[in-house]
């Protein structure tokens, strides 16, 4: 992997980000950047987007207190930003609705996407159904096998699912396949990237679309709690739900921001999915950030009990936030996430996604050390209905 900084001025977060892509994609990426800048200034576009967020996605999502979990931890008050209540059950729809609306405006009739567990594929297929656009989703063959229900869901929504048989047959390979498709189809096709990763402008575009989470949460905290939260906690896979809730608080120096990577089953290579803790700077999927690499610099295998966190890279803005110290990054392992999954279900009647359960576990520990006047805000990125079979089999194995 190369560390040499190759291309343009825009799209850098310190030494992270950039556009490490073949020449054929550079034009498409700047066209996307320009289209977004124009759309963001056009009230016809922003009004339509806001209307969709409100009446289709179901925003604003609630801010919910967690009184029994708070009492049990015996410290700071715990609050939940309820992205689990957004349409399709997670934050991913905020990004896909925005990008598909933009693609529609750009006159692109065909949409492609990568997906790991299928959550981003389902959210993309959903947005495409709403706009009547053709949708093709790349998914690793191993993931197609493990997540057959989401494959069926995408097909119900009218999407075509392409099985990718390369490499480890998972998300990394699906992303490579989608990028390859795009190189040959940029004229007619928009690639809806699913997180704050990839070449510029995707990290910025996806973060901007997801920032609705933090903007709402900020207003809701001022309104309900009478001030800003002391700590905001979110899980980090590629980093989009975390960037979305963190960014509107980034200038509030008194608000501590905590990202939670997947600690998996241990600290040895291949046992976790924590590139900010154990990775090295390198280039993956078109941008420079922290990447899990083996001794030869090849992208290494990662593990987490939650499919949404099982990615060897992380968004470049998180790499920068780590470097500048604005955000602290912790790790929560499979076992603690599983405990938090059960505890939030029992204490508050809310089943979190296994990804979100990582944030819940970290927030519980932080809250326990804080005084009762303080507040901890958790981004509950998704609901756990999709994970109950996996959780059952993990618990049965104990
Ligand atoms: C996909 C997913 C994640 C991880 O992706 P980020 O880009 O890091 O947010 C987290 N939570 C849920 C519920 C997801 O579906």
Q: 114, 317, 355, 390: which one is catalytic?
A: 114
H or E segment at 221? helix 212-224
**Spatial contact of 237 and 302, defined as CB atoms under 8 Å apart:** no
Please report the pLDDT score of residue 337 as a whole number. 98
Please report the pLDDT score of residue 208 as a whole number. 98
Does residue 322 have an active-site annotation?
A: no
Please report the pLDDT score of residue 311 as a whole number. 93
Does residue 381 have an active-site annotation?
A: yes
Please report the pLDDT score of residue 1 as a whole number. 35
Distance in angstroms (rounded) separating the CA atoms of residues 208 and 194 = 13
Distance in angstroms (rounded) separating the CA atoms of residues 247 and 345 = 28
**Spatial contact of 356 and 62, defined as CB atoms under 8 Å apart:** no
Using CB atoms within 10 A of its CB, is residue 108 exposed (0-12), middle (13-18) or buried (19+)?
A: buried
Global pTM value: 0.96
Please report the pLDDT score of residue 168 as a whole number. 87
Q: Who contacts 266 (Cβ-Cβ below 8 Å, separation ≥6)?
A: 272, 333
Q: pLDDT tens, position by position, for the chain (398 residues)?
A: 333 444 456 799 999 999 999 999 999 999 999 999 999 999 999 999 999 999 999 999 999 999 999 999 999 999 999 999 999 999 999 999 999 999 999 999 999 999 999 999 999 999 999 999 999 999 999 999 888 999 999 999 999 999 999 998 999 999 999 999 999 999 999 999 999 999 999 999 999 999 999 999 999 999 999 999 999 999 999 999 999 999 999 999 999 999 999 999 999 999 999 999 999 999 999 999 999 999 999 999 999 999 899 999 999 999 999 999 999 999 999 999 999 999 999 999 999 999 999 999 999 999 999 999 999 999 999 999 999 999 999 999 98
The domains of the chain are located at: 13-51+92-206, 58-90+211-396
Three-state SS for 173? helix
Measured from the CA of 242, which atom of ligand 1 is nearest? Answer: 9
- Domain 13-51+92-206 part of CATH 3.20.20.410: no
Residues 314-334 as b/e (b if ≥16 CB within 10 A, e otherwise) read bbbbbbbbbbeebbbbbbbbb
What is each CA distance from 262 to 130, 155, 331, in whole angstroms? 33, 30, 6
90 lines ligand 1 (CB under 6 A): yes
Q: Whose CA is nearest to atom 13 of ligand 1?
A: 382
Query: 45 is written with which tokens?
Result: 């576009």
Three-state SS for 77? strand
Strand 110-115 to 134-140 pairing: parallel
240 lines ligand 1 (CB under 6 A): yes
CATH class for the region spanning 58-90+211-396: alpha beta
Does residue 185 have an active-site annotation?
A: no
What is the distance in A from the centroid of ligand 1 to the CA of 298?
A: 24
Domains 13-51+92-206 and 58-90+211-396 share a fold: yes
């Amino acid at each position: 992997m190369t560390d040499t900084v190759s291309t343009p001025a825009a799209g850098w977060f310190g030494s992270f980000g950039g556009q490490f892509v073949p020449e054929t994609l550079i034009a498409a990426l700047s066209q996307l950047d320009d289209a977004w800048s124009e759309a963001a200034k056009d009230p016809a576009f922003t009004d339509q987007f806001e209307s969709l967020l409100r009446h289709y996605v179901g925003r604003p999502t609630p801010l919910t207190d967690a009184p029994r979990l708070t009492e049990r931890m015996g410290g700071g008050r715990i609050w939940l930003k309820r992205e689990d209540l957004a349409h399709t059950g997670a934050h991913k729809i905020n990004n896909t609705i925005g990008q598909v609306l933009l693609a529609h405006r750009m006159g692109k009739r065909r949409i492609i996407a990568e997906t790991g567990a299928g959550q981003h594929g389902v959210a993309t297929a959903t947005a495409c159904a709403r706009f009547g656009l053709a949708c093709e989703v790349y998914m690793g063959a191993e993931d197609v096998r493990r997540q057959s229900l989401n494959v069926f869901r995408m097909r119900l929504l009218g999407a075509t699912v392409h099985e990718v048989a390369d490499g480890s047959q998972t998300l990394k390979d699906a992303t490579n396949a989608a990028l390859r498709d795009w190189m040959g189809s940029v004229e007619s096709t928009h690639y809806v990237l699913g997180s704050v990763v990839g070449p510029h402008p995707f990290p910025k575009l996806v973060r901007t679309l997801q920032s609705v989470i933090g903007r709402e949460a900020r207003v809701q905290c001022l309104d309900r709690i009478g001030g800003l939260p002391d700590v905001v906690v979110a899980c980090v896979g590629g980093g989009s739900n975390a960037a979305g809730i963190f960014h509107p608080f980034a200038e509030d120096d008194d608000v501590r921001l905590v990202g939670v990577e997947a600690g998996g089953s241990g600290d040895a290579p291949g046992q976790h999915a924590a590139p900010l803790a154990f990775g090295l700077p390198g280039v993956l999927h078109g941008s420079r950030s922290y990447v899990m690499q083996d001794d030869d610099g090849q992208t290494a295998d990662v593990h987490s009990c939650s499919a949404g966190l099982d990615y060897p890279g992380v968004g470049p803005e998180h790499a920068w936030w780590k470097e500048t110290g604005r955000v602290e990054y912790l790790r929560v392992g499979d076992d603690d996430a599983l405990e938090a999954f059960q505890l939030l279900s029992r204490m508050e009647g809310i089943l979190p996604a296994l990804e979100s359960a990582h944030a819940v576990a970290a927030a519980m520990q932080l809250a326990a050390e804080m005084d009762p006047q303080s507040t901890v805000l958790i981004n509950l990125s998704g609901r756990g209905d999709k994970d109950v079979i996996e959780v059952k089999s993990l618990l049965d194995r104990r």
